[in-house]
Amino acid sequence: MKKFSLLAIIILLASCESDNYRGEMEQTLFIPDAYDKNLPAYTEWGYNSFGALYERMYLYSTYNIVPCKVFMQNGIMTFSLCGRYGSSYSKWGAGDDMTLNFSFPVTESMRNYKDLLMLHQKQFDLTSSSVELKMTRKGSVENITILSGNLHFKRAQLIRIDDQEDRVALSGTFELSFLLNGMPELISKGRFDVGIPHLFVLP
């Protein structure tokens, strides 16, 4: 009886640790870049963070906004980075809401998050006619014209928790120059490291 109780306690503790780790994987972990503390360091661990230099301001993930969602509709994948735009990094997000929606066609059948592994080492030219970028700020879509840009998925890897497949981590970089209301602007030093537990397939 004592052995059974001890075993039950060990299993319970292991289960709690697993649930805690899974919960931590849902959160955003911001590790400052060695050269610019307002940007996250480039990582490949599914830390649910992203950041970029936007002119003299910053676009960055926060702790209270889901940083990334990926969804499919009619053969088009949209990779959305959702965060804030401000003068410096803030854990809870000082500044305006801002989202970048990168949309591009995929030929492979995409049904769940594990299919995102096909993005490994894929690059997308943002000036291509098959690629679309929408920038939303404070709930309004900005009227922009892309001059140059690149979205690079450097690594896509399957994350396991307790030997069970749990999500895909997508890590990479992005940059773009564009016209906003006729004026040239630049987003540079963009990097992302996001864990995706769900691929949404829209009707």
pLDDT single digits (tens) 68-122 = 999 999 999 999 999 999 999 999 888 899 999 999 999 878 889 999 999 999 9
Closest CA to 81 of 25, 23, 28: 28
Instruction: Note the Cα 139 to chain centre separation in Å.
Output: 19
Residue-level pLDDT at 94:
84
The reply to whether 4 falls in a domain is no
Backbone angles phi, psi at 8, to 5 degrees: -65, -40
Residue-level pLDDT at 53:
98
- CA-CA-CA-CA torsion sign (83, 60, 158, 104): positive
What six digits make up the tokens of 51? Answer: 């950041």
The reply to whether 20 falls in a domain is no
Residue-level pLDDT at 23:
58
What six digits make up the tokens of 66? Answer: 């889901």
Residue-level pLDDT at 77:
97
Its pTM stands at 0.87
Q: Rg of the chain's alpha carbons, rounded to an integer?
A: 19
Closest CA to 54 of 144, 131, 159, 127: 144
- CA-CA-CA-CA torsion sign (62, 161, 170, 200): negative
The reply to whether 140 falls in a domain is yes
Distance from C-alpha of 150 to C-alpha of 81, rounded to nearest angstrom: 15
Residue-level pLDDT at 16:
47
Q: What's the per-residue H, E or C state across 63-130?
A: CCCCCEEEEEECCEEEEEEEEEEECCCCCCCCCEEEEEEEEEECCCCCCCHHHHHHHCCEEEECCCCC
CB–CB of 73/104 below 8 Å? no
Q: Which domain holds residue 165?
A: 28-201
The reply to whether 13 falls in a domain is no
Distance from C-alpha of 32 to C-alpha of 51, rounded to nearest angstrom: 10
DSSP annotation of 189: E
The reply to whether 11 falls in a domain is no
The reply to whether 74 falls in a domain is yes
Distance from C-alpha of 98 to C-alpha of 111, rounded to nearest angstrom: 28
Which segments in the chain show pLDDT lower than 50? 1-4, 6-19, 21-22
CB–CB of 159/129 below 8 Å? no
In one-letter notation, the amino acid at residue 121 is Q
Instruction: Note the Cα 8 to chain centre separation in Å.
Output: 38
Q: How many domains does the chain have?
A: 1
Residue-level pLDDT at 24:
65
